[in-house]
Structure 1
């Protein structure tokens, strides 16, 4: 099975079928939650978020105009991820919602 131009090694194919599962601990109670339909969705989401984070200038979280621009960038990324896979943002309690909210509020600054 391939997705786009990427070919997944044989040993990874069962991971794609089962989806990327994660135990969430948000809200204090661990619970299983399907965050991605497959490994390619997880990799895409992490890679694209890293790309956005790497492009942010240091100290920019104190600029209101920057925060508005960042909110738009994160919303576009969220829409693109959701077009590929609805799972990451399907619950208001998912880790992805928490991560994007935290970045947008400046809780997670560029290292």
Structure 2
């Protein structure tokens, strides 16, 4: 509509459609030149923000990149076998044995369960 007034219909529309219309209306209302940056706000209000040249951020970023390289280099099943040994075949074997050991035995399983 005009002069910053917007109308959107709600009847018979899903949440996704309505939220998309609201996002578009808000985007249209805001000037394109204004951007929100946490770094700018933190300079004015004594708020500490992580910066990319901070040692902790560098360490975390390097660890994430190393994990991504590992995922790209090896097959996912090989990674699971090496890093998560109790999640694969061994785990399934243990579950099967545990079920067999705890399964009621004998002629009348109801008596054994009670």
TM over 0.5: no
TM-score, normalised on structure 2? 0.21
Q: Which has the larger radius of gyration?
A: 2
Higher relative contact order at CA 8 Å, sep ≥6: structure 1 or structure 2? 1
TM-score, normalised on structure 1? 0.22
